[in-house]
Amino acid sequence: MIVPVILSGGSGSRLWPLSRESYPKQLIRMLSDHDSMIQQTWRRIADVDDVAPPLIVCNEQHRFTVAEQMRQCGAEGSNIVLEPCARNTAPAIAAAALIAQRSGENPTLLILPADHVIARVDEFHQRIKLASLLSSTGRLVTFGIIADRPETGYGYIKGGAELPEGGLRLDHFVEKPSLERAKKLVASGDYFWNSGMFMFQAQTLINELQQYQPELLKAVEASVQQASEDLDFIRLQEDGFSAAPDLSIDYGLMEHTQKGAVVPADISWSDVGAWDSLADLQPADDQGNGGVGDRLLVDCNNSYVHADNRLVAAVGLDNIIVVETDDAVLIADRAKAQQVKDVVSLLKSEGRKEAREHRTVYRPWGKYEEIDTSERFQVKHIRVNPGASLSLQMHHHRAEHWVVVQGTAKVTCGDSQYLVTENESTYIPLGEQHRLENPGKIPLDLIEVQSGSYLGEDDIVRLDDIYGRTEIINPEGTPDQ
């Protein structure tokens, strides 16, 4: 049995401002009108022979979105494992292997990052068959992408001697090289791009970790043994997991093992790591310009313009990337697209929320969008899905006015419960316990006007929540920092 392990813990900082910490690129419809990248990842391997429902490792703040997206694309029975903190791919994969063995079996794990693009799916399936065969002989297999150009944004793998079953012995890894070295690596014909995709039997991985990373394995074992069930999620125990070394599976294990193998793969692959690689995957005009949205380009060459909300007009651009969202605009030299992550680091250092979230924020009950904000007021558009309910909560620093514009709201305010329909409004006083529910069969849309001395999302005291959320609680009545 093949258990796909989909790694969905990344933040996609090089694709800011579209990808952000609270809603990263793997959850966005980057290259499809219908599916996010994580949904595409599952769909491309869903019909592989003997494949089981996926095991997904993700950040806990993304758990409800991941669960809903998996439900939408038919991945019933998915196991979603929540990382309490980011510890890189080696601890995440170790946890997946230990959890996959709970049934008493020794499945073959297919490790797939959630944010890759593969155009030649049939060829990928053939490569999976070979990797599965090699895994059955005790090999730790990595998929090496046949390099068609020098690329400084990827790591490289050198293949060694041919193996009897097919594929190559794994010789060594090379970190992201300079352009000159990348040219030499590609010209030699011996090196492949490191795809970050792997295949091995769960017990083989555990045995190798015991030999080369025993402290990491011990920490993750403790975390898995003390993991808790939270609704449909497996929540890893924080102390054990945080004690694991912050290591990638490449550096932590694959560079040390004597059982490594490489399956060469010519599958039209991209990790969509930055805006230049995304631009390369989309159609361009005769001047090399591409993009999406409402754009007007005059005398531009080899440029990419992404317009989310309004017309973006550009004149005289050469090798430039422009990305417009509802609260930020990025302008970058196409050759320096990798440095967008430095913008995110700067935003974080300044405490700017644009590093973390969009103006539209998704919740398990629906979403809200910031319309306007000032020092003493904030206006939001709130959408509550049919049958969904916000937590029973109260605020120490703000009052709220709700105006229903579509659907029917069931409101709890203090000891009272009542319905508010279209074009009606209600008032929630500061400090009053309240809850908002949608008892209807269509989405509930309302405009919320907050007023008070502090309007942050951390001024929420949750008293009861059907989704089991406890991560935003402020019982002392003072804003969390």
Give 207-267 as a DSSP string: HHHHHH-HHHHHHHHHHHHT-EEETTEEE--HHHHHTS----HIIIIITT-SSEEEEEE-S
Domain boundaries, position 454? 360-464
Tell whether 180 and 200 lie within a shared domain. Answer: yes
Burial 327-355, CB ≥16 within 10 A → b, else e: ebebebebeebbebbebbeebeeeeebbb
Tell whether 9 and 144 lie within a shared domain. Answer: yes
Nearest CA to 149 among 276, 263, 261, 44? 276
Tell whether 220 and 258 lie within a shared domain. Answer: yes
Tell whether 207 and 316 lie within a shared domain. Answer: no
Tell whether 50 and 119 lie within a shared domain. Answer: yes
Asked which of 270, 292, 313 is the last residue of a domain, the reply is 270
Query: Cα–Cα distance between 249 and 256 in angstroms, integer?
Result: 10
How many domains does one find in the chain? Answer: 3
Q: Give Cα separations from 12 to 125, 195, 199, 469 (angstroms).
A: 26, 16, 24, 25
Burial 160-192, CB ≥16 within 10 A → b, else e: eeebeeebbbbeebbeebeeeebeebbeeeebb
Tell whether 104 and 142 lie within a shared domain. Answer: yes
Cβ distance 238 to 168 under 8 Å? no
Tell whether 81 and 181 lie within a shared domain. Answer: yes
Let me know if residue 352 belongs to a domain: no
Tell whether 196 and 332 lie within a shared domain. Answer: no
Tell whether 390 and 455 lie within a shared domain. Answer: yes
209-257 pLDDT per residue, tens: 999 999 999 999 999 999 998 878 999 999 999 999 999 999 999 999 9
Cβ distance 420 to 408 under 8 Å? yes
Give the side-chain half-sphere CA count within 13 A for 378. Answer: 19
- Quick one: how far is CA 411 from the chain centroid? 34
Tell whether 172 and 33 lie within a shared domain. Answer: yes
Cβ neighbours of residue 44 under 8 Å, at least 6 residues apart? Answer: 118, 121, 124
Let me know if residue 414 belongs to a domain: yes
Angle between helices 89-100 and 202-212 (to 10 degrees): 130
Return the H-helix or E-strand segment holding 403: strand 398-406
Cβ distance 422 to 404 under 8 Å? yes
Asked which of 270, 300, 322 is the last residue of a domain, the reply is 270
Let me know if residue 405 belongs to a domain: yes
Let me know if residue 242 belongs to a domain: yes
367-417 pLDDT per residue, tens: 999 999 898 999 999 999 999 999 999 999 999 999 999 999 999 999 999
Let me know if residue 355 belongs to a domain: no
Tell whether 206 and 279 lie within a shared domain. Answer: no
Cβ distance 45 to 95 under 8 Å? no
What is the domain-level CATH number for residue 159? 3.90.550.10
Q: What is the mean pLDDT of each run of 10 residues along the chain (481 residues)?
A: 93 93 91 90 94 93 91 87 92 96 90 95 96 96 93 90 93 90 92 95 97 96 93 91 94 94 95 92 94 96 96 97 96 94 96 91 92 92 96 94 97 96 96 96 97 87 84 40 30
Asked which of 270, 294, 318 is the last residue of a domain, the reply is 270
Let me know if residue 244 belongs to a domain: yes
What pLDDT is attached to residue 148?
A: 87
Query: Cα–Cα distance between 326 and 354 in angstroms, integer?
Result: 11
Residue written as tokens 């509550």?
384
Let me know if residue 441 belongs to a domain: yes
Cβ distance 464 to 389 under 8 Å? no
Tell whether 136 and 234 lie within a shared domain. Answer: yes
What is the domain-level CATH number for residue 417? 2.60.120.10
Let me know if residue 480 belongs to a domain: no
Residue written as tokens 């049939």?
122
